[in-house]
């Protein structure tokens, strides 16, 4: 089945550690997105990429980094510079043609120990 796979489902991090969240899609989508979802705050865009080897900052990029070396993969690293990393992280992808909807993975819940 085509879809978006995020791993792990749950992730725990110690203070000062960097952690990387995986996002893989086999939908042949061009664009990929990372969102952070906090209760009552909706979805906030962290980073997005419309093509391999290119990505742009979203609204809350500080403390995060990404790479897009392959079309199907868009990993997100939560660095120690992110002061409040505990959240639910969602990865999405879409074709970049006109008016295509985004498709979402199941998310990764990150908690600080």
Least separation in angstroms between CB 12 and other proteins: 19
Nearest residue (CB) to other proteins, 16 versus 97: 97
Token code pair at residue 14: 């110690």
Helix (H) or strand (E) holding 46: strand 43-51
Q: Read off the DSSP letter of residue 53.
A: T
Which of 13, 22, 45, 72 touches other proteins (CB under 8 A)?
Answer: 45
Least separation in angstroms between CB 17 and other proteins: 27
Nearest residue (CB) to other proteins, 6 versus 82: 6
| 37 CB burial (10 A radius; 0-12, 13-18, 19+) | middle
- C-alpha dist (Å) from residue 108 to 48, 51, 89: 17, 23, 5
Quote the CA–CA distance of 110 and 17 in Å, as a whole number: 12
Q: Is 85 in the site for other proteins (CB under 8 A)?
A: no
Which of 52, 58, 72, 79 touches other proteins (CB under 8 A)?
Answer: 58
Residues in touch with other proteins (CB under 8 A): 4, 31, 40-45, 48, 50, 56, 58, 90, 92, 94, 96, 98-99, 101-107
């Amino acid at each position: 089945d085509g879809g978006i796979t995020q791993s792990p489902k749950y992730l725990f991090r110690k203070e000062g550690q960097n952690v990387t969240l995986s996002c893989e899609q086999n939908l042949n989508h061009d664009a990929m997105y990372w969102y952070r979802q906090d209760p009552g705050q909706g979805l906030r865009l962290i980073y997005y990429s419309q093509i391999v080897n290119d990505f742009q900052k979203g609204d809350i990029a500080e403390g995060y980094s990404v790479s897009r070396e392959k079309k199907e993969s868009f990993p997100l690293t939560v660095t120690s510079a992110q002061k409040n990393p505990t959240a639910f992280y969602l990865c999405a992808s879409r074709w970049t043609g006109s008016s295509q909807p985004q498709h979402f993975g199941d998310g990764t819940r990150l908690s600080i120990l």
